């Protein structure tokens, strides 16, 4: 896949606060890339640097394999933190101002208003919109000029479940037609639903980076017990079926290797003349894995 954005050793501090530190990332064309991290982990700082809102202290980044230049702006649509619009101007006029800034024609305005389902409100003042509509207008603004890349910072912040679903659909459609998405979020489930790749940030440092499926994969965890748990533990330990065995309140807690099923564990125990009298599936939630990952390094 073609390289779209490469970030090399990016660092930024605000006086004594280290916002990001020696960040390296590679994002390819067509990826939906999530930047996941708790509050204050440096997501907005990272996105602000790569969209040219603020400057890094050190390190560099390249868009489309080139040093950043203002010409790239037309190819990158962004929504960083809350969108800023003029409250007394209507939606169309607000979007015209953005077209002027981006140096693109007004012709694209109806399309983005249609996509964000705000076309009926095009003559309304911005101040009369609901929060969800304001957020959608932010997305509409980011999509003006049909850029190849969307950089979105917490686009579902403050929205109700319906609003979140609408934004997600809009964004997923863009990815579906081949756009590259870079999305910052502190909500694991959001990244999981939208992104194919994820980088996990904590205190400005990269904790993990890779395909969502691999990083956030749910390990199959089961509880078992039989008349001789110690024997079973030894047998399982050398069976190649489990990656981890823990004892908890008289049961064995097994983390199964990929594609191993509970049924196979049962059959294995039986082949060792051990009949399981207890077996319970205990899938670890993604949330707890994410929290663990974030906690690990503290």
Q: How far is the CB of 227 from Mg ion (least distance, A)?
A: 54
Distance between CA atoms of residues 228 and 234, nearest Å: 10
Q: Which is nearer to ligand ATP, 4 or 19 (CB)?
A: 19
78 interface partner picked from Mg ion, ligand ATP, none, CB below 5 to 8 A per type:
none
Q: How far is the CB of 182 from ligand ATP (least distance, A)?
A: 13
Write out the E strands in the chain.
3-14, 17-28, 32-36, 58-63, 76-79, 149-153, 180-185, 197-202, 205-211, 221-225, 242-248, 251-256, 278-281
Mention every residue, 6+ apart, whose C-beta is less than 8 A from residue 122: 90, 91, 92, 109, 110, 113
Q: Which residues bind ligand ATP (CB under 6 A)?
A: 14, 17, 19, 37, 39-45, 186
Only one of the segments 3-11, 41-49, 50-58, 118-126 lies at the binding site for Mg ion (rule: CB under 5 A); that segment is: 41-49
Q: How far is the CB of 15 from ligand ATP (least distance, A)?
A: 7
- Identify the CA nearest to 76 among candidates 149, 25, 152, 165: 149
The answer to whether 27 and 5 have CB atoms below 8 angstroms apart is yes
Q: How far is the CB of 41 from ligand ATP (least distance, A)?
A: 4
Q: How far is the CB of 128 from Mg ion (least distance, A)?
A: 27
Distance between CA atoms of residues 112 and 241, nearest Å: 52
**What binding mask, one character per residue, do residues 100-139 give for Mg ion by CB under 5 A, x or -?**
----------------------------------------
How many residues touch Mg ion under the rule CB under 5 A: the total is 2
- Identify the CA nearest to 5 among candidates 122, 111, 120, 150: 150
Mention every residue, 6+ apart, whose C-beta is less than 8 A from residue 9: 22, 23, 24, 58, 59, 60
Q: How far is the CB of 59 from ligand ATP (least distance, A)?
A: 15
- Residue from 31, 32, 41, 44 in contact with Mg ion (CB under 5 A): 44
Q: Which is nearer to ligand ATP, 142 or 236 (CB)?
A: 142
255 φ, ψ to 5°?
-100, 115
135 interface partner picked from Mg ion, ligand ATP, none, CB below 5 to 8 A per type:
none
Question: By CB under 5 A, is residue 51 in contact with Mg ion?
Answer: no
Q: Which is nearer to ligand ATP, 65 or 158 (CB)?
A: 158
The answer to whether 186 and 39 have CB atoms below 8 angstroms apart is yes
> Applying CB under 5 A, which residues contact Mg ion?
43-44
């Amino acid at each position: 896949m073609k390289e779209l954005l490469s970030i090399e050793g990016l660092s930024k501090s605000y006086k004594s606060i280290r916002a990001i530190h020696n960040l390296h990332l590679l994002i390819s064309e067509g990826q939906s890339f999530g930047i996941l991290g708790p509050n204050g982990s440096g997501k907005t700082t990272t996105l602000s640097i790569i969209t040219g809102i603020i400057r890094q202290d050190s390190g560099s980044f390249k868009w489309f394999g080139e040093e950043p230049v203002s010409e790239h702006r037309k190819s990158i649509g962004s929504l960083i933190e809350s969108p800023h619009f003029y409250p007394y101007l209507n939606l169309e006029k607000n979007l015209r101002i953005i077209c002027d800034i981006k140096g693109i024609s007004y012709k694209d305005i109806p399309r983005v208003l249609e996509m964000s389902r705000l076309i009926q409100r095009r003559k309304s003042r911005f101040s009369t919109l609901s929060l969800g509509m304001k957020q959608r207008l932010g997305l509409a603004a980011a999509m003006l000029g049909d850029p190849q890349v969307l950089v979105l910072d917490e686009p579902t912040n403050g929205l109700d479940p319906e609003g979140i679903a609408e934004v997600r659909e809009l964004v997923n459609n863009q990815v579906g037609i081949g756009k590259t998405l870079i999305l910052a979020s502190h909500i694991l489930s959001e990244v999981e639903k939208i992104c194919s790749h994820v980088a996990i940030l904590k205190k400005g440092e990269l904790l993990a980076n890779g395909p969502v499926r691999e990083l956030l994969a749910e390990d199959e965890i089961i509880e078992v017990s039989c008349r001789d748990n110690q024997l079973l533990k030894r047998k399982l330990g050398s069976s190649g079926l489990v990656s981890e065995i823990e004892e908890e309140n008289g049961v064995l807690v097994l983390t199964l290797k990929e594609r191993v099923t509970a049924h196979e564990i049962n059959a294995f125990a039986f082949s060792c003349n051990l009949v399981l009298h207890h077996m319970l599936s205990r899938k670890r939630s993604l949330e707890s894995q994410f929290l663990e990952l974030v906690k690990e390094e503290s």
